[in-house]
Amino acid sequence: MSQQISYSQIGLLKLVERVIRSHPLLYLVCRYLVRYTNIFEADANGVKFIKFNKSKINFIDIGASDGISINFFKKNLNVNKCFCFEPNKNFVKILKKKKFKNTKIYGYGLGKNEIKKIYVPYYKIFGHNFYLNTYAFYNKNELKKQIKLDFFLKSKIPIKETYIKIKKAPVIKNNIDLIKIDVNGNEYEIILNINKLINKNKPALIVENSKSIVKITKHLKKKNYGIFHFCNKKKLFLPKRNGKALNYYFLQKKHIN
C-alpha cells in the first residue's frame, strides 16, 4: 500500500482537516479540542449499521489513544463493557482522567511479550516538547514519509526513539461483539494474538489500512470474514476498493444481513 495523507473526514471537514494537519502546533491544539466532541473518523459511522445479535454490546479498542474513539462508540452504540489497550503512558493518563463507565484500561499493547521500540515526533515551543503521540510509528522511515505528507508547512519535525510494553492478550470472559484496531503498523501481529478470541466470539472488526491488510484479509477469509469499506454517501458497506479507505471492516454475513 502506498502511503497517503492521513484524511479521516469527508466533504468540508476533509478540507478543514487538511488545514489542521498542515502544521504540528495547529494539529496539537485541535486534537486536544476534539477530545470533548463526538467527532471521529468518518468511516467509523459504519458501526451504526452493523447488525449485532444483542441490544448491548462489548467492544475492544486496540490503540485507544486519547479516547476519542471510545467516546464515539459509546455515544453511537449501546455499549455494555469496553476493554481498551493503549501502551502510551500519556494517553493512559488521559483515559483514566476521563473515567469512562464500564471501561477497563490496559496500559500496554498486544502481541508477543516484549519491550518494543517506537518513534514519536514532537514539536518544541517555549522550551517544551509536545509529542504527537497519535503519530507513533514502529518504522522510522514510514513515520518520516507520513510527516512530509501531512505537515507540509513544517515537514522537518524531530523524532524521539522510545519504548512501549507489549503483552499477550489477557483472557476476557465477556463475549466480544466489536473490535477496533488502529496501531500504525502492528495490525497483523495483533490479529494473530487475539486469534482465539476471534474464533470464539466472531466479532465485527474495524482495522486501519496498512501494508499488512492483504495478510489480514487472507487470514480472516479462512474464518468466513469478508472485507468491506463503509460508504457514507450510500450508508452501506461495499466490497474493498484498492488502497484508499482509511479503515476496513471485516464482517461475516450475520453482521450485514
Domain ranges of the chain: 11-108+171-256
Cα Rg, the chain, nearest whole Å: 18
Q: What is the pLDDT of residue 3?
A: 57
Q: What is the pLDDT of residue 242?
A: 60
Residues of the chain with pLDDT under 50: 1-2
Beta strands in 68-201 (DSSP E): 79-85, 103-106, 109-110, 114-125, 128-131, 159-167, 178-181
Q: What is the pLDDT of residue 243?
A: 55
Q: How far, in Å, CA of 90 to CA of 82, rounded? A: 20
Count of residues in the chain: 257
Supply the CATH classification number for the domain 11-108+171-256: 3.40.50.150
Q: What is the pLDDT of residue 2?
A: 44
- DSSP assignment letter at 252: -
Q: What is the pLDDT of residue 249?
A: 96
- Choose among 59, 30, 55: nearest CA to 206: 59
Burial pattern 26-52, b for ≥16 Cβ within 10 A else e, equals bbbeebeeeeeeebbbbbbbbbeebeb
Burial of 126 (0-12, 13-18, 19+ CB in 10 A): exposed
- Choose among 187, 93, 185: nearest CA to 136: 185
Q: What is the pLDDT of residue 253?
A: 94
